């Protein structure tokens, strides 16, 4: 069975949020923070990361309960392909549900969006 989550955020909202230094530490995981830092913290990419976390919570079916946002990291392979790296309770809940997740993100100058699809692992 598949599950789907989607999220959309205004870039302006995230731009205002990152003025608070605690925002990044509450939302971004260590590897995610490092990847974004190496690219100069583009606000569109931070917004895409935030959307991916929200979309993951919807595909998981829990909303943002039982795990911290920084436990869901939007990372990119060398070729730029995005993927989710789960740690802590987020990884545990995904494992309990026996699901793997894939992600797609996009952004314009004004909006960022993410879609996450969860599917049962084959036995």
99 is catalytic: no
79: exposed, middle or buried (Cβ count in 10 Å: 0-12, 13-18, 19+):
exposed
The reply to whether 58 belongs to the active site is yes
Catalytic option among 58, 81, 85, 109: 58
- Residue of 15, 53, 81, 107 marked active site: 107
Pair type for strands 82-86 and 99-107 = unpaired
Beta-bridge mates of residue 114: 7, 105
Question: CA 113 to CA 79: how far, in whole Å?
Answer: 20
d(CA 6, CA 116): 6
CA distance 44 to 108: 8
Catalogue the active-site residues. Answer: 58, 107
């Amino acid at each position: 069975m598949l599950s789907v989550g989607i999220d959309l955020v205004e870039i302006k909202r995230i731009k205002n949020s990152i003025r608070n230094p605690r925002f990044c530490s509450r939302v971004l995981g260590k590897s995610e923070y490092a990847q974004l830092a190496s690219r100069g913290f583009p606000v569109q990419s931070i917004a895409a990361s935030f959307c991916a976390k929200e979309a993951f919570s919807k595909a998981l079916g829990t909303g943002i309960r039982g795990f911290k946002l920084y436990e869901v990291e939007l990372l990119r392979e060398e070729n730029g392909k995005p993927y989710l790296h789960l740690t802590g309770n987020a990884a545990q809940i995904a494992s309990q549900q026996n699901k793997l997740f894939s992600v797609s993100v996009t952004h314009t100058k004004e909006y960022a969006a993410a879609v996450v699809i969860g599917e049962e692992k084959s036995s």
